[in-house]
Structure 1
Amino acid sequence: MSTKLSRASYTIALVGATGSLGREVANVFLTSYKPFFSRVIVTARDTTTAEAKALAEKGAELVLVSAADPLGSFTKAFEGADAVVNVIGSAPNDFKDAIGEAAIKSGAKVYFPSEYGSDHRINDFPGWDDPGWLWKGQHARKYRQLGAGKTKVVALYNGLFLEILINPFFGFDTANLTYTSVGSPDAKTATTAKADIGRALAELTLLSLNPETAASVPDDVHIAGSNVSWRQIRDIVQKVRDELGVEPRGEIKVQGTDLAPFREKLRKEQLEKPKPGPIDHIKVLIAEGKMDFTKNDNELINPGESIWKWKTVEDIVREKGGRV
């Protein structure tokens, strides 16, 4: 902490800070990391929402951006910003591209594009990949080239959001005591709490802005609060529910389904009519071992958990009283 306090105080610009992930990220910068960031600029397409006002009350500087002129308004909003963190969710691609271009035009030293999921660079879905992931890859390549020598572009991959991991659409049916994975139930996935993503972004920003540590930050960063399989999740949930006496009682069954037919069905569906969102692609990636971030950059960001303790699957199961 004392080393960090000796650093200059920076200005951070957050885009998408009123969203689900964005609010958690903004809260980190506005509270525990406030000593390191004298200004926290929050851009919004509507600064009158309850979410925007709540951030302003914590000290955020709200800046209205125009959908009609996103590049001009983002460039002006980012003036004086040392770093730009993009946590925007749904928006037109040209609007999202304007964020990257404005980050570089305004002179920001580091830019985090909106990633926060799988490392789509290793996908093997030729001709039927998720369009959103294809766009993200193009975005990163474009602005790394544009910002070369001026703005460092750092992509952060964290696996699944911990808050939505144990969910029916991933095959977790606790009510009927059955957990079903695509492929082996022993295949692991990274999963990270939203607040921990915020802490990782804050630490990466500080590392990237410090001339002594900037070179240690790779262009593509992997983090994982936990790396867990469906069987391990079952064991955790079973233990907590048994301890707390949660109904319905009984043993949770864990099972896997064949990957090959699931993958082929998805391929045919995507070629015929692409699905909105990559949920089924993610299931395939987990089964293929491509969401297992056992090899990660946790130690660079939070060595020995000396800065904070990563939130785990057991933490969230206990937080919910075993009712997941």
Structure 2
Amino acid sequence: MSTQTSKLGHTSYTVALVGGTGSLGKEVANVFLTSYKPFFSRIIVPARDTTTVVAKVLTDKGAELVPINPVEPLGSFSKAFEGVDVVINLIGDNLNSYDFKDAIGEAAIKSGAKVYFPSEFGADHRLNDFPGWDDPLWIWKGQHARKYRQLGAGKTKVIALATGIFLEFFVSPIGPTVGFGTDKILTTAGLPDAKTAVTSMADIARALAELTLLSLNPETASSVPDDVRIAGSNASWQQVINIVQKVRDELNMEPRGEITVQGTDLAAFREKVRKEHLDKSQPHPFGHLKVLIAEGKLDFSSKNDNELVNPGESIWKWKTAEDLVRERGGKWMTVEEVVSGR
């Protein structure tokens, strides 16, 4: 358990996990409901549908599922957040979710929550250099954080957590994030050995729990910055392919060596992404992410807050790409399989 928790005595808090039934949300909820349950008297999960299988699982573990009216979210969230100490926004990225997420932020501040985590958990978009063609979701996220930091100044700490790419998705290159050509060739922007921060969803959950406890403890609250970066590890596509092939060799598993990685000219790829974006805004910044990886802006090796949330890995051991490949027995999983839990 946390090295910080001994300072908290018997204090117990209330946390609201908005989107706690989603892909990341259910991992976060599970960690709060198990490892960190002694520190939270109430774990509230506001959801638009409280009848799903995941919702029932969380209820059985002790979560309080609270229905949210998507037509009038501000009133629903304001009621759900009464007496809440921390609000964690785990709603996924969606171009149609701006007003819904703003309602979460506004209700968190007005309800008197001490800490609010906006929906981030990805790239550190403060480093973006896409003049006139930045991803609209990243632009909005920056505006959202600034808006609610100003609204909650002196009352609510707003913490934006950048985690790089979800490890489970990065080690699932059969999907929209990368995609294969017909010859099973993985093509990257720039060099294939460019590293990116990759963090498992369970590790993100633990980091959120630790940051929550640090922020609520008067003795440690000042140590938590407004913008936090963590990285379970930093890996490249080339490293992941090498790991998969190594594990398959060890297991005498076929096929072997069926995937190769090749780089492409970064300047040409960047220009292609720019033109595509200006022609028609894309639903997800996959191209932008590839550019950021190639430019080294998603490599958190030299600057991260790992020691703040998990000093010397004394609280838990970060999961690496090799850990996950071995856990999966050297098999690829598609992003769809990861999301569905198959």
- Could you say which TM-score interval applies, normalised by the shorter chain? over 0.9
Cα deviation digits, residues 247-266 of structure 1 (max 9, x gap): 11347533211111111011
Cross-structure match for 2:98: 93
Return closer, same or farther for 1:187/1:66 CA change in 2, 3 Å cut-off: same
Matched, 1:25 2:57: no
Matched, 1:61 2:64: yes
Structure-2 separation of matches of 1:45 and 1:251 = 43
Matched residue type, 2:294: A
| Correspondences of 1:144-155 after superposition (within 5 Å) | 144-155=149-160
The percent identity for this pair of structures is 72
Q: Is the 8 A contact 1:155 1:219 kept in 2?
A: yes
Cross-structure match for 2:320: 312
Cross-structure match for 1:50: 53
Q: Is the 8 A contact 1:221 1:297 kept in 2?
A: yes
1:121 to partner: Cα distance: 1.2
Cross-structure match for 2:167: 162
Cα deviation digits, residues 224-246 of structure 1 (max 9, x gap): 11101222222222211111112
Structure-1 separation of matches of 2:71 and 2:208 = 29
Q: 2:237 aligns with which of 188, 213, 230?
A: 230
Matched residue type, 1:143: Y
1:5 to partner: Cα distance: 5.9
Q: Secondary structure at the match of 2:263?
A: strand
Cross-structure match for 2:226: 219
Cross-structure match for 2:137: 132
TM-score by length of 2: 0.91
Aligned length: 324
Q: 1:111 aligns with which of 102, 113, 116?
A: 116
Q: Is the 8 A contact 1:79 1:106 kept in 2?
A: yes
1:215 to partner: Cα distance: 0.4
Structure-2 separation of matches of 1:119 and 1:250 = 33
Q: 1:70 aligns with which of 62, 73, 81?
A: 73
Unaligned runs of 5+ in 2: 333-342
Q: Is the 8 A contact 1:117 1:159 kept in 2?
A: yes
TM-score by length of 1: 0.96
Q: 2:213 aligns with which of 202, 206, 209?
A: 206
Structure-2 separation of matches of 1:122 and 1:142 = 19
Aligned-pair RMSD on alpha carbons?
A: 1.7
Cα deviation digits, residues 276-320 of structure 1 (max 9, x gap): 111111000000101001121011000111111111100110111
Q: Is the 8 A contact 2:190 2:263 kept in 1?
A: yes
Structure-2 separation of matches of 1:274 and 1:94 = 19
1:68 to partner: Cα distance: 2.3
Q: Is the 8 A contact 1:186 1:231 kept in 2?
A: yes
